[in-house]
Amino acid sequence: MPIFWRPQFRIGHDDIDADHRYLILLINTVELVLRFPDDPRNVDLALAELRRYAEYHFEREERIQIAYGYLHLDQHKREHRALLAEIDVLAQRIHATLEDPDGGVEGVKAQSGEITAFLRKWLVDHVMKADMQLAPLFRKPVVR
């Protein structure tokens, strides 16, 4: 089942929200190529794009945090680094499965449900717990 963007994911910054939507789309693409892995190269491509865009997005989000004077930047940065490391571990695991004569595309297909559940949680937990802390920064001051 693909994941759909929901209004409760909104942080209130257009670039951050647009990036989160695109990351959801990329996770859905990874799910698709894992479930229907006709060409193993598509698995590598989808994972590489997710990794590339996640890194780009995290850097953009960190620049926005600096611009807004966010106090917990270091902690947030550490979380971003850990999230990228998790993607690297996952990509290595998928690669090893593809290379394994007993695994291959069927092996990857068998793990697709578990992997996509992990990726959904990977993104949604970070957005709802860490990124949501940023929302007050983007609220317009009330004019009295």
**Which positions lie near Fe ion, rule CB under 5 A?**
61, 131
Q: Return the number of the residue (65 or 97) whose C-beta is nearest Fe ion.
A: 65
Residue 63: its H or E element: helix 40-67
- Cβ nearer to Fe ion, comparing 115 with 126: 126
Residue (31 or 131) nearer to Fe ion, CB: 131
Task: Tell me how far apart the alpha carbons of residues 9 and 128 are, in angstroms, rounded to a whole number.
Answer: 7
Cβ-based neighbour number of residue 94 at 10 Å: 23
Query: Cβ 111 to Fe ion, closest distance in Å?
Result: 26
Q: How far apart are CA 4 and CA 118, in angstroms?
A: 15
Q: Using CB positions, name the residue nearest to Fe ion.
A: 131
Work out how close the CB of 127 gets to Fe ion at its nearest, in angstroms, rounded to a whole number: 7
Nearest distance from C-beta of residue 64 to Fe ion, angstroms: 10
Residue 84 CA neighbour count, 13 Å, CB half: 16
* 25, 119 contact by CB (below 8 A): no
Q: In terms of CB distance, is 31 or 61 closer to Fe ion?
A: 61
CB of 116 to Fe ion, least distance (A): 20
